[in-house]
Structures are given as structure tokens and as C-alpha cells.
Amino acid sequence: MWMWLSCSSFFQQFFHCYCPVRFGRKADPNGDYIRRYLPVLRHFPTRYIHEPWIAPLSIQRAAKCIIGHDYSLPIVNHGQCSKTNIERMKQVYQQLKKYRDNVQAGLLWV
């Protein structure tokens, strides 16, 4: 499923990229999955369960989980990285299209 959601395999529409926060809120609005498999986050209020790094320090303390200490900060900025990756996927698809066109034209042997 994650390969499909990343739009990097089995999918021709590379220009669409799912936001992990919005997708999580839609697929698991109460955060049950997160609470089960990331028990360090289980005490966060539902409002912050999908984005614990935006919770005020008082909420983090109450949840007994300080973001950046007990649980990592986000590794990347999804908004920036998704745009970069979409552009990279576009370039790869264009290169593959040229390759496929050359194979079909008989210019390359597979």
C-alpha cells in the first residue's frame, strides 16, 4: 500500500502525492493505529496525534512525550519534499517514455 501511496510504483500519476498527516487523519481519525503501534504517543490528545510536534510543550509534558527528545521531530518538510520528489518523478517518467518510444521504434533492443 505504501508503494502505491508514494506514487513511485504501480502508478502512472506521479504528480499526486499523499500528505501523511492528512491521509492519517482521514484513514485513522481517532489515531487508534498510532496509539497501538507507537505507544510513546498514545497519551496525546486526538487533536495532536497525527502531528505531535505542533503540540504545545504543556501538552507534550502531560502526554509524557517531549518531541525531539522522547520521539523524533519530523525528518523532512513534507510540503517541500513532495514538490521536489514530484519533479524528480516527472523527469524519470519522461526519460522512460523516451526509452519506451525508442524500443517501439526499433531503435533499441530489449
Residue-wise pLDDT tens digits, 11-59: 555 566 778 899 999 999 999 999 999 999 999 999 999 999 999 999 9
The grid coordinates of residue 78 equal 513534507
- Flag whether 30 is in a domain: yes
65 and 40 Cβ atoms separated by less than 8 Å: yes
Which of helix, strand or coil describes residue 56?
A: coil
For the segment 59-109, what is each residue's pLDDT rounded down to a tens digit?
Answer: 999 999 999 999 999 998 888 888 888 888 888 878 877 766 765 666 655
> Which residues form the domain of 69?
2-75
Look up the CATH number of the domain holding residue 22: 1.10.579.10
- Look at residues 48, 47, 43 and name the one whose alpha carbon lies nearest to residue 64: 43
Residue that has been written with the C-alpha cell 521504434 in this structure: 105
- Flag whether 60 is in a domain: yes
- Flag whether 45 is in a domain: yes
Q: Which amino acid is at 57?
A: L
- Flag whether 89 is in a domain: no
- Flag whether 41 is in a domain: yes
User: What's the domain count of the chain?
Assistant: 1
